[in-house]
């Protein structure tokens, strides 16, 4: 309650402090409820990875102590590969953005689709997140700045690449799936793919790991996902050998360790680009030219996407489409008849 001696300025300061404390309390209570959004290649293994990370009976909840409420994680998945990017804005909201994380799943068995998938999904997701952070900043600059600063926690002040990277605005984990197929590729191909994904992950301030059906890989993957979903301790494992599955927590790599793109100096001089990431793209696509596939082709009408095929519904839709076409033809005849009659 305000004292009679308080002036208008004192009351205003007290009100601002009260709101900030209230927001801090809300954020603290929200830490027990997080969201993880899986995006990536169509049929790249997103659903399988989610099911491997959680017990089907746990419903995405982990009980830390019987005396306290359960930590809850909401797992979202964007189906359809890159064809339904318009749906990315649905799960990411101004209410949950402070406890939201992104997992990009890339199918290692399809190297010609990797860069296209990255290019289609990450910028769209980043644009939506940046817009939300901007909206928050209009009314609460402190909260917006806190979200931005959180992504830098993995990069100490003395990290050599702090001025060279462009961290994703939310925690980002990149998973290379189907390593069991990838490990049979030629050594040189594996090396190029590994170096490229290391560069992309480090540039975006993301963690990177490869996984397969192996129980060992499954355990490592759960460590990374559980850190995002339940705030558990980060994995301290690090593996950068292209002959083994990559395991690289955010902030543990560097451009000097990754090295230059896989091209000669003369080839690099012939490539005209504006940014380092464009350079890596050009070099990568020389080895793995992008292919036109059903996954890459944008599907403007989700009803025509085979992923959502439903016989009874599709039969009824086909019938309605025929009726609509017949209506259009009849209407066209009517308008022509009216036009002729008017002309006469």
pLDDT digits (tens, 9 = 90+) for 111-127: 999 999 999 999 999 99
For domain 24-287, give the CATH superfamily: P-loop containing nucleotide triphosphate hydrolases (3.40.50.300)
Q: What percent of the chain has pLDDT above 90?
A: 49
- Which 8-state DSSP code applies to residue 46? H
pLDDT(228) > 70: yes
Nearest to 41 by CA among 116, 92, 101, 91: 116
The span from the CA of 199 to the CA of 237, in Å, is 19
Number of H helices, E strands in the chain: 11, 7
> What was the pLDDT predicted at 72?
85
Quote the CA–CA distance of 261 and 195 in Å, as a whole number. Answer: 8
**Predicted local confidence at residue 137, as pLDDT:** 94
Q: What percent of the chain has pLDDT over 70?
A: 73
- Cross-sheet strand order for the sheet of 172-177: 61-62, 71-77, 33-40, 100-107, 172-177, 207-210, 247-248
Q: How confident is the model at residue 193 (pLDDT cuts 50, 70, 90)?
A: very high
Domain ranges of the chain: 24-287, 310-343
What is the number of other CB atoms lying within 10 angstroms of the CB of residue 128? 17
User: Is the pLDDT score of 180 beyond 50?
Assistant: yes
Burial of residue 118, with CB atoms counted within 10 A of its CB: 0-12 exposed, 13-18 middle, 19 or more buried:
buried
Evaluate if residue 69 carries a pLDDT over 60.
no
Q: What is the pLDDT of residue 25?
A: 46
Identify the residue whose tokens are 């997103």.
46
Task: Give the pLDDT confidence score for residue 26 in this predicted structure.
Answer: 45
With cut-offs at 50, 70 and 90, classify the pLDDT of residue 344. Answer: very low
Over residues 115-143, mean pLDDT = 94
pLDDT of residue 292: 61
Name, of 26-35, 208-217, 243-252, 308-317, the range with top average pLDDT: 243-252
Q: Please provide the average confidence, as pLDDT, over all residues in the chain.
A: 81
Residue 326 has pLDDT above 90, yes or no: no
Question: pLDDT tens for residues 43-54?
Answer: 888 988 888 877
Lowest model confidence (mean pLDDT) among 120-134, 194-208, 238-252, 312-326: 312-326
**pLDDT tens profile 253-297:** 999 999 999 888 888 888 888 899 999 999 999 999 997 654 444
Phi, psi of 180 (to 5 degrees): -60, -30
3-state SS, residue 91: coil
Query: Residue 227 CB: number of other CB atoms within 10 A?
Result: 18
pLDDT (0 to 100) of residue 339: 47
Structure tokens of 322? 């025929």
């Amino acid at each position: 309650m305000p004292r009679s001696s308080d002036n208008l300025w004192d009351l205003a300061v007290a009100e601002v402090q009260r709101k900030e404390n209230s927001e801090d309390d809300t954020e603290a209570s929200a830490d027990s409820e997080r969201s993880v959004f899986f995006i990536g290649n169509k049929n790249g293994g997103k659903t399988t990875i989610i099911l491997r990370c959680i017990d089907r009976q746990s419903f995405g909840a982990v009980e830390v102590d019987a005396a306290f409420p359960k930590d809850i994680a909401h797992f979202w998945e964007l189906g359809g590969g890159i064809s339904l990017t318009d749906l990315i804005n649905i799960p990411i909201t101004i209410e949950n953005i402070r406890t939201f994380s992104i997992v990009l799943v890339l199918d290692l068995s399809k190297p010609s689709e990797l860069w296209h998938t990255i290019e289609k999904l990450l910028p769209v997701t980043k644009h939506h997140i940046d817009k939300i952070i901007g909206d928050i900043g209009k009314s609460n600059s402190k909260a917006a700045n806190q979200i931005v600063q959180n992504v830098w926690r993995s990069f100490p002040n003395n990290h050599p690449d702090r001025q060279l990277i462009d961290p994703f605005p939310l925690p980002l984990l990149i998973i290379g799936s189907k390593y069991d197929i990838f490990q049979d590729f030629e050594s040189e191909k594996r090396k190029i793919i590994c170096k490229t994904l290391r560069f992309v992950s480090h540039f975006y301030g993301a963690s990177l790991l490869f996984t397969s059906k192996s129980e060992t890989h499954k355990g490592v993957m759960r460590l990374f996902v559980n850190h995002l979903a339940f705030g558990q301790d980060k994995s301290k494992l690090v593996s950068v050998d292209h002959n083994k599955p990559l395991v690289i927590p955010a902030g543990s790599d560097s451009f000097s360790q990754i090295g230059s793109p896989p091209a000669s100096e003369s080839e690099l001089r012939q490539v005209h680009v504006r940014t380092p990431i464009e350079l890596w793209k050009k070099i990568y696509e020389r080895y793995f030219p992008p292919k036109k596939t059903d996954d890459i082709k944008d599907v403007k009408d989700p009803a025509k996407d085979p992923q959502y095929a439903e016989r009874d519904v599709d039969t009824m839709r086909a019938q309605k489409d025929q009726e609509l076409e017949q209506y259009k033809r009849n209407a066209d005849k009517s308008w022509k008849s009216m036009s002729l009659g008017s002309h006469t």
